[in-house]
Amino acid sequence: MGKHRVGKINKFMNYLIYFLVGVVQDFLTTLNWRYVAKDKVLPAMLFSFLTTAVGMLVLYNIITQLDPNRSILAILVYSLGITVGTFLAMKFKVGLKN
């Protein structure tokens, strides 16, 4: 495989990772909101911490590791993942049972 092809595969994998992390982050956020609404303090605290840590780590990575041209696309891909995470969390009723 040529260097150019390997570079494209690595870029694609980076974007895929940002997408998947966005999905997971918003799934965690939705669970957090559900636990807050049900006054379940410890799970709400845990999911709040996880959501914040994931979001900050991703944004830190985007800002420090990517060049300006790829950063915008990475943020958009990450945001799309967050959108899908909301959809999945709304479809699957995790955290709703008493």
How confident is the model over 40-94, as pLDDT tens digits?
999 999 999 999 999 899 888 888 887 777 788 889 999 999 999 989 988 887 6
CA atoms of 64 and 62, how far apart (whole Å): 6
Q: Give the dihedral sign, CA 49/53/54/55.
A: positive
CA atoms of 82 and 27, how far apart (whole Å): 8
User: pTM above 0.85?
Assistant: no
The structural domains of the chain, with segments of one domain joined by +, span 3-91
Residues 6+ apart with CB under 8 A from 46: none
